Amino acid sequence: MYTALLVVTLLLILLHDALPLFKQAMWRELAVLLLVWSVGSAVALAAVLRIDLPNPNDLIIAVFGRFARFTGN
pLDDT in tens, 12-37: 999 999 999 999 999 999 999 999 99
Sequence ranges of the domains in the chain:
2-71
E strand or H helix that includes residue 4? helix 2-23
Average pLDDT taken over every residue of the chain: 91
Please state, in angstroms and rounded to a whole number, the distance separating the CA atoms of residues 50 and 32.
Answer: 27
Averaged over 50-63, what is the pLDDT? 89
| Residue 59: per-residue pLDDT | 87
| Residue 72: per-residue pLDDT | 64
User: Residue 44 CB: number of other CB atoms within 10 A?
Assistant: 15
pLDDT at 73 over 60: no
